[in-house]
Amino acid sequence: MASQSGEHLLRAAQMAEADRITIASGVPGHELMARAGSGVAAAARRMAAPGARILVICGTGNNGGDGYVAARLLQAEGRDVAVMAPLGPATTADAGRAAADWAHGRGAAVAIDADVAGYDLVIDALFGAGLNRPLDGAALDLARRLNASGRPVLAVDVPSGLNADSGQAMAASVRAAATVTFAARKPGQLLLPGRLLCGDVTCVDIGIAPETIARVAGGIFRNSPDLWQASFPAPSLEAHKYRRGHVLCGSGGPLSTGAIRLAARSALRVGAGLATVAAGLDACRAHAAHLTAIMIREAEGAGDFARLLDDARFNAVILGPAGGVGPELAARVEAAARRGRALVMDADAISSFAGAPERLAAVIAAGEGAPVVMTPHDGEFARLFGDVAGVMDVGAKYERAVAAARMTGAIVVLKGADTVIAAPDGRAAINDNAPPWLGTAGSGDVLSGLVGGLLAQGMPGFEAAAAAVWIHGAAAQAFGPGLISEDLPEQVPAVLRRLLRQGAQAGAAR
Ligand SMILES: NC(=O)C1=CN([C@@H]2O[C@H](COP(=O)(O)OP(=O)(O)OC[C@H]3O[C@@H](n4cnc5c(N)ncnc54)[C@H](OP(=O)(O)O)[C@@H]3O)[C@@H](O)[C@H]2O)[C@@H](O)CC1
Ligand SMILES: Nc1ncnc2c1ncn2[C@@H]1O[C@H](COP(=O)(O)OP(=O)(O)O)[C@@H](O)[C@H]1O
Ligand SMILES: [K+]
């Protein structure tokens, strides 16, 4: 798993292990802390004009140590710096050394009840990765006063109170305008509400080798092209349309046809060679009034649909967008999985297995190993898994998604502003490029089409799902506010142009 390329996200325990390995290899801890503190000071310089009053709040551990280093560096260049140590003196050797170096300067120490609103910038170095229980007492009170003050906060590693693994606040958390983290980003900086509490995150190299990061990493990635570009389908002169795959899209009834058209159009836009919508006769008439490049086939029930799959050229299937919840749709899912087609299950296809994830797991297991990607939002996810132990009750969002993937054998795309893509082998990617205006009716249908279009071109399931989620976010960004779901497929060509250019450059550099 460590051999997978991409930007690793490290949990607090993995980060501590990377520190330990680096220190054991001969880099002293205080040197790592010096680089970390220097990165914090650089960010503070960008945030505070000369003459600004800066308050550094230092905890007792190494996070506080980073704060003392930053305070010393800023003060040495003539900045107006004060330090508050609300929980008492440093308790680790490296932090103690940093605190002593600071105290040799001429900086002021301020009392815990000082008015934090009197400062232009507050550096929050109270707790970092060592946070091991919810804030309470003086720390909780200080975090609340800081948030109420409205002053810009620069957080060291993570805002104090934020769980770096899960992205959840432990009782309460400081809300930062910016965060400087070290060596690698942490999952809690991408997951909500953590992403909002961190503000802009900068990752500073403190001298921990990339090999060390890869060695301790646990298969959680930031979703970016690095993760999947190597398997992204590049157009080739030799490829005719059938080589680029044929997506079969199962329609809902005559009054619910728009969703699957959005999916089919998106599948074509992302590069599938052909897309066909399969529908009952009345729905076919509705589709015929709209479709040009996308083909239409009549299929009245699940039996008709299964017979269409006798044509081996339909190599990917999309089921679910406005498909109608019930046994009929479940039977189509079963037919597609049994016939070994790469399958996207969205919306109603997921809900057709409500409370019966074991049944879905059996359907997928009976397939021929072709990828099945399901794309639930939180509501559909909860409907599918009900109160299944070990899925709904596990901590972080990526842990829920991985548990669901392991249980069902599907790639799980758990949607939201912080969409997580998870594979049965334990890999997970957290997406952070989706703008808020992507949450618009029908945008999930577009996503299912993008996944199906990439699967049809032979991309592996996890990579296809991650790439589709990223392209979806990039297309929404490219359009901007005012987006409706019909706009998304039309933005895909520009996103692909950029991706293919970058891919060619990366290939040339290798
Ligand atoms: N290791 C390295 O080489 C490097 C590490 N680096 C930096 O170190 C940071 C991690 O440092 P860390 O492990 O010392 O933990 P840290 O976040 O300072 O807090 C621990 C202290 O807080 C206490 N405590 C916890 N929760 C509490 C609560 N709710 N309420 C009250 N107290 C609470 C806990 O108390 P205890 O559990 O012992 O009672 C302990 O005393 C990391 O984020 C990065 O900034 C960089 O310098 C690069 C090199
Ligand atoms: N606040 C948000 N910020 C960014 N993306 C969002 C937000 N809310 C929803 N999304 C994305 O929008 C899409 C909505 O999908 P879905 O809930 O299935 O909607 P629909 O059924 O209308 O198509 C998902 O890809 C989801 O990740
Ligand atoms: K902090």
Ligand 3 centroid – CA 393 distance (Å): 28
CB 64 within 8 A of CB 94: no
For residue 406 the two structure tokens come to 């392991």
At residue 3, does pLDDT exceed 90?
no
Determine the average pLDDT of the residues in 11-34.
98
Protein residue whose Cα sits closest to atom 37 of ligand 1: 132
| 444 marked ligand binding residue | yes
Q: Tokens 């559909």 label which residue?
A: 380
At residue 217, does pLDDT exceed 90?
yes
Tell me what the pLDDT averaged over the chain comes to. 95
Residues in the 5 Å CB sphere of ion ligand 3? 124, 128, 155-156, 160
Coil, strand or helix at 114: coil
What's the pLDDT band for 2 if we cut at 50, 70, 90?
very low
Question: What was the pLDDT predicted at 510?
Answer: 67
Determine the average pLDDT of the residues in 176-201.
98
Question: Given the CA of residue 158, which atom of ligand 1 is nearest to it?
Answer: 43
At residue 1, does pLDDT exceed 60?
no
How many angstroms separate the Cα of 88 from the Cα of each of 30, 60, 106, 187? 20, 7, 19, 30
Strands in 153-156's sheet, in edge-to-edge order, are: 108-110, 80-84, 53-58, 121-125, 153-156, 178-182, 200-204
Protein residue whose Cα sits closest to atom 40 of ligand 1: 61
Protein residue whose Cα sits closest to atom 1 of ligand 1: 19
Residues ≥6 apart with Cβ < 8 Å to 268: 247, 274, 275, 293, 294, 453, 489
| 346 marked ligand binding residue | no
Lowest average pLDDT, out of 179-193, 283-297, 324-338, 387-401, goes to 387-401
Question: What was the pLDDT predicted at 130?
Answer: 92
At residue 432, does pLDDT exceed 70?
yes
Question: What was the pLDDT predicted at 243?
Answer: 83
At residue 102, does pLDDT exceed 80?
yes
Determine the average pLDDT of the residues in 420-428.
98
At residue 503, does pLDDT exceed 90?
no
Question: What was the pLDDT predicted at 504?
Answer: 78
Question: What was the pLDDT predicted at 5?
Answer: 87
Question: What was the pLDDT predicted at 390?
Answer: 83
Determine the average pLDDT of the residues in 452-476.
98
At residue 253, does pLDDT exceed 80?
yes
Is 445 a pocket residue for ligand 2 (Cβ < 6 Å)? yes
CB 452 within 8 A of CB 321: no
Ligand 2 centroid – CA 436 distance (Å): 9
- What structural domains does the chain harbor? 7-222 (3.40.50.10260), 240-509 (3.40.1190.20)
Question: Given the CA of residue 419, which atom of ligand 2 is nearest to it?
Answer: 27
Ligand 1 centroid – CA 62 distance (Å): 5
Coil, strand or helix at 56: strand
Ligand 1 centroid – CA 320 distance (Å): 47
Percent share of the chain, pLDDT over 70? 97
What's the pLDDT band for 235 if we cut at 50, 70, 90?
confident
CB 204 within 8 A of CB 178: no
